[in-house]
Amino acid sequence: QAVLPRLHGAYALAVVWAELPGALVVARKAAPLLIGLGEGEFLCASDTPALAGFTRTILPLEDGEVALLTPLGIELYDAGGTRVQRTPTLLSGTEHVADKRSFRHFMLKEIHEQPETAALWVARHLPEPVAGGAEAPHAGSLVALPLDESVYAGVERIQILACGTSRHAAQVGAYLLEQLAGISTSVFYASEFRYAPPPLSAHTLTIGVTQSGETADTLAALAMEQERRQLVADPAYAPRLLGITNRPESSLARMVDHILDIGAGIEVGVAATKTFLGQLLAFYALALAFAERRVGQRQGGGSSGRSREELKALVAQLRQLPQQLEALVADHDQRCAALAHRFEGTQDVIFLGRGINFPIALEGALKLKEISYIHAEGYPAGEMKHGPIALLDAKVPVVSIAVPGTVFDKVLSNAQEAKARDAQLIGVAPDCPDAELFDTLLPVPVVDELLSPLLTVIPMQLLSYHIAAHRGLDVDQ
């Protein structure tokens, strides 16, 4: 307690002292620390998976707090040194399991769990249409989300703060919120937003996306936004914060009023895969929920979004997702394993996408560099000709995401440009005559373009996984 005020920056500390062997002193600031209440023992860890197998009862430490753990119990103190009492929380069953089953790596297991993630999401959030009553004017909502109506009411702008893979999910989310619900949406790197936030806008919902719920930049950016809005007297600028996370017990959840739990279960592999899918699905549900409430409204001279019929058609397609993912994961697991050896000497890979699949190109590149250490870049395909095309030659594979819709022809012609530079083209596209342009095809079924990221991401994940595994790397670390 005497030392902590002298420390700068973020920390999570666990201190032992030889004079008191049965005791542990723990403290945290802007870094996660959980106390676990086991049977005849107390534990501490930075994350819940570490406590799996020991206990499901946890007490997350708050910023600035200090705790003394002894066999007799826990003494908790606030930053001012005053003793505090808090009730521990119980982790849900799924949070507790960290088992590789028969898979070689957690990452592969987690990729294979995605059909289940989608099935749970469909069951939770897409209520079955009422038999015979579906056409009635009040036949019920298309999506069921555990959010208060105040989250939706009067929102004119949305801003989303996130890092890494979560930011890519946010970019898909922004596309959906704009195109389905007609709400202007901006996505920020949380680490940039903190130091250069845009001018305050009225009636704005701020969404923080972090699967762990503990990413320091995302939490700090949200806290900053909350504070600066609390200083404004005009209620139009009041903070409205929503968190999207896989950890309902995290720091994020304790900080914001509204939480969407993606419920993807524990993710052990360092590369986010099933939590990315979970975040995407959270945004599909949110965008549909906003869109549903705005059907028929007009904004700024144009229609704000889609008709109820169009939304219903999307929901009907979303119900097919678990089966589609099941088939896709099994198929691409084999295809990508067979393709991986071709990347033995590869040093650079370019990922191209446009529109709603541009963030998936970014995600493909991030996954590859993160676990295989191969340099990779994601580009909006139309930007290649403005410089980066100079990098292409026969040694640089180009992965191009081309799905039927608004930009299909454009992406194909961008791929043609890359081919003219002798690049090896790998297409993530439907198996159709247009796809003959690609040297290798990773086929995806045709769905509404707006839903395509949920499928195109699968070959991205499996390609990265198999390239890294083929190189003998420890993909989970």
- Which residue is nearest to ligand F6R, using beta carbons? 164
**Site mask, ligand F6R, residues 195-214, x = CB under 6 A?**
---------------xxx--
Q: Which CB sits closer to ligand F6R, 193 or 438?
A: 193
Q: Which of residues 249-278 bind ligand F6R (CB under 6 A)?
A: 271-272
Tell me if 29 sits within 8 A of 78, measured CB to CB. no
Q: Which CB sits closer to ligand F6R, 447 or 475?
A: 475
Give min distance, CB of 169 to ligand F6R, in A.
9
Report in angstroms the alpha-carbon separations of 179 from 150, 288, 359. 22, 10, 15
Q: How far apart are CA 424 and CA 323, in angstroms?
A: 31
**Site mask, ligand F6R, residues 367-396, x = CB under 6 A?**
---x--------------------------
* Length of the chain as a residue count: 477
Hey, is 205 helix, strand or coil? strand
List, edge to edge, every strand of the sheet that includes 73-77. 11-15, 24-29, 66-70, 73-77, 83-84
32, 60, 164, 378: which one binds ligand F6R (CB under 6 A): 164
220 in contact with ligand F6R (CB under 6 A): no
117, 159, 166, 400: which one binds ligand F6R (CB under 6 A): 166
| Spatial CA neighbour of 48 closest among 219, 254, 250 | 250
Residue 351: beta bridge partners?
A: 378, 399
Q: Which CB sits closer to ligand F6R, 47 or 310?
A: 47
457 in contact with ligand F6R (CB under 6 A): no
Strand segments (E) across 145-257: 157-162, 184-189, 204-209, 241-245
Give min distance, CB of 275 to ligand F6R, in A.
7
215 in contact with ligand F6R (CB under 6 A): yes
Q: Which CB sits closer to ligand F6R, 279 or 414?
A: 279
Q: Return the residue matching tokens 């009041």.
A: 238
Q: Is the dihedral of CA 127, 133, 135, 140 positive or negative?
A: negative
Contacts of residue 30, Cβ cutoff 8 Å, sequence gap at least 6: 9, 10, 11, 63, 216, 219, 220
165 in contact with ligand F6R (CB under 6 A): yes
158 in contact with ligand F6R (CB under 6 A): no
Give min distance, CB of 269 to ligand F6R, in A.
8
Give min distance, CB of 329 to ligand F6R, in A.
18
Site for ligand F6R, rule CB under 6 A: 163-166, 210-212, 215, 218, 271-272, 366, 370
